A and B are shown apart, each in its own frame.
Chain A
Amino acid sequence: MRSILTVYRKELTDYFSSKKFIILLGLVYVAGLSSVYVSLQNIRDATSGLDGFIFLKLFTISGDILPSFITFISLFIPIIGIIFGFDAINSERRSGNLSRVMSQPIFRDSIINGKFLAGITTLSIIIASIVFLISGIGLRSIGVPPSAEEILRIFFFIFICIFYGTFWMSLSMLFSIIMEKTATSILTSIAIWLFLVIFLPIIANAIANTVVPLENASAADQVKNYVIEHNILRSSPSTLFSESITTLLVPAGGHFLINPQSFASADLSKMLLSPLSLGQSLIQVWPQIIVIIALAIICFAVSYVIFMRQEIRAT
């Protein structure tokens, strides 16, 4: 047990003193602060509705130029995860540290467990700190304290962000175990991310339009088109992530992302005015959250098994 803690402490020190941590933290802070500035500018117009979740709007309102905080964070979390994981094992192997450390009387999994936990901790600190910072600024500027429900929603939001980041980190850690060069492992991880974020929507759109053409389509067909596109997109964890955080942070109407059928059949004016309770929101996004957590665990488990069987040679 002590060996895991030793590795964990050392890796944590490494993360905090590394340049990549400082750069990522700076980047997230700049993005977060500029998005909160924009949302503060626009919050007056946006609160004309009666739903009352003013505090959550800090995170979800976008301006004309800048996107909202949740858009930023969906973009940054994969990057943070990938950058924290991509050289976890192969850089140690290359530098010759791995075989030296492995010849110490520790179990082999102490290394990967310690590294993984240190990565999650650093990731959590980055995400939680920016969310709390924005909350603090918001509290002073809008003068409306968050309700208990809003606080809970924000905490769930943070947890989902952390699991999502953990997924990306374990994925890139997996590549750092399989691939010998750090350049290959980071490129592979980024390629997967780009595919899921940029190409999958294009492909999904094309398929949906082929199956149900949108020209002269009835309202029902339009919904059908949307459902097809959406189900394809759901194979991507980034879709699951944006669905779950939108539902959580936009209690009124956010869940229509998930169930477009209900959107078509609903009496719009009434639905929009009545936000979901926290429990209902969670029920809506429960499958998404579970899948994100499961993906993170699967990636870690695969990395773990491969690492345990791998031969440690100093080359």
Chain B
Amino acid sequence: MEDIIISKNLSKNYNGNKAVSNLDLSIKKGEIYGLLGPNGAGKSTIILMILGLTEPSSGTINVAGFNSTREALKVKRIAGYLPEKIGFYEDMTAEQNLAYTAELNNIKYSEIPKKIEKALKIVGLVENKKQIVKQFSKGMKQRLGIADVLIKDPELVIFDEPTEGLDVKVANSILDTIIKLNKEKGITFMLSSHQLNLIQKICHRVGILSNGNLIGEGKIDELGRKLFGGGRFIIEVEISGDTKEILNKFSNLKDVIDIGKEGNVFQIICNKDLRSEISKIIANTESILTRMNIKDYALEEIYLKYFKEE
């Protein structure tokens, strides 16, 4: 698929300190990409450079073919940005705030009410249209923020800390909205966060950032395998019955590298996902398969591992 964000050799220095160094990032159209990293890893700086709100010290960054530094206006026309601490004009109603955004986006006056209605519907705030933002809860403001970026019909939405400071229920509803928009409208999302479990649920790919360097990138399961098993699969099998015969049969399987055994539990390290083969072997014996699972690496483990090695 086509890349919507491409950065090459992107660097940013602040008073001699490298905030971002030689970053090569590519984000595909239609994916949900998570940018992870502890505070100060350079996430916000990257986002600001994508939107042309700050200039890179060296390197280039392109969004949908437009250079973010030189054609910032064109980039901002198709990219929506939800800052970490989103602010609205508190004394204005939700509708007025969105109307202001719509006008700044050069949308025809006659179309503005329709657009607002549509955007508020998606985030479920139609009934609060005439309410002033001061009375909104944090979750409502976050939802209004999503409506705010939807006004311009974006191709790409950059969301800085989408779930920061929200309770689990509200956070989940925000994430659901993101998934829905991604599926139904094909909007590419780039999320930055340090809240791993929430990001893990929805991101197609993640990039792990540390001190301005992308130290790992890919699908979450790939990342885990690369990190812990050297690119291998680890399958745990628990059976009841004769284990000796099975052990032999397992060792004869192609792609098996190592087998560990502890009581009735095998740990099979292999180059391929051998689950179907394993279950066939067991089915052909007297033994019963009581449990089998392939080891999934939670993002948290991956994350901790990366930062332990630092």
Contact = CB atoms under 8 A, between A and B. Distances in A.
Interface string B84-125: 111111110000000011011110000000000000000000
B77 A103 contact: no
A280 interface: no
B101 A104 contact: yes
Contacts of A100: 81-83, 86-88, 101, 145, 148
A95 interface: yes
B105 A96 contact: no
A315 B81 contact: no
Given A311-B48, A312-B48, A99 B53 contact: yes
A314 B87 CA distance: 9
Given A6-B103, A312-B48, A103 B53 contact: yes
A313 to B, nearest CB: 7
Interface in B144-164: 145, 148, 152, 160
A314 B84 contact: yes
Q: How large is the interface on A (under 10, 10 to 19, 20 to 34, 35 or more residues)?
A: 20 to 34
B51 interface: yes
A103 B88 contact: no
B44 to A, nearest CB: 7
A226 B81 CA distance: 61
Given A6-B104, A105-B104, A99 B81 contact: yes
B229 to A, nearest CB: 40
B166 interface: no
A96 B87 contact: yes
B132 to A, nearest CB: 12
A17 interface: yes
Main secondary structure of the interface of A (DSSP, over half): helix
Nearest to A311: B54
A107 B106 CA distance: 12
B48 A313 contact: yes
B205 interface: no
B207 interface: no
Contact of A97 (B44, B73, B76, B87): B87
Interface string A3-30: 1001100100010010000000000000
Contacts of A315: 85
Given A96-B83, A96-B87, A2 B103 contact: yes
Taking each of A17, A104, A312, A314, which has the highest tally of chain B beta carbons within 10 Å of its own beta carbon? A104
Contacts of A2: 103, 106
Interface in A294-315: 311-315
Contact of B77 (A92, A97, A105): A105
Of A2, A14, A92, A96, which is in contact with the most chain B CB atoms at under 10 Å from its CB?
A96
Contacts of A106: 73, 76, 104
B224 interface: no
Contact of B80 (A96, A97, A103, A107): A103
B103 A103 contact: no
Nearest to B75: A105
Contacts of B51: 103
Contacts of A50: none
A3 B104 contact: yes
A96 B85 contact: yes
Interface string A56-100: 000000000000000000000000000000000000100111111
A101 interface: yes
Nearest to A94: B87
Contacts of B73: 105-107
A125 interface: no
A194 interface: no
A104 B53 contact: no
B53 A96 contact: no
A20 B92 CA distance: 17
Contacts of B74: 105
A95 B85 CA distance: 8
A217 interface: no
A102 interface: yes
Given A311-B54, A313-B48, A105 B86 contact: no
Given A105-B76, A311-B48, A313-B44, A96 B104 contact: no
A311 B81 CA distance: 16
Nearest to A101: B104
B76 A103 contact: yes
Interface string A100-127: 1111111100000000000000000000
Q: A2, A3, A6, A315: which has the most chain B beta carbons within 10 Å?
A: A6
Q: Which of B73, B79, B101, B103 has the most CB of A within 10 A?
A: B103
A92 B80 CA distance: 19
A97 B53 CA distance: 14
B148 A95 contact: no
Nearest to A315: B85
Nearest to B77: A105
A97 B85 CA distance: 9
Q: 4 closest pairs, A vs B, by CB?
A: A96-B87, A103-B81, A95-B87, A314-B83
8 contacts: A2-B103, A95-B88, A97-B87, A99-B83, A101-B104, A311-B48, A312-B48, A313-B44
Interface of A: 2-3, 6-7, 10, 14, 17, 92, 95-107, 311-315
Given A99-B81, A105-B106, 11 more contacts: A95-B87, A100-B87, A100-B148, A101-B101, A103-B79, A103-B81, A103-B83, A104-B105, A107-B73, A312-B54, A314-B44
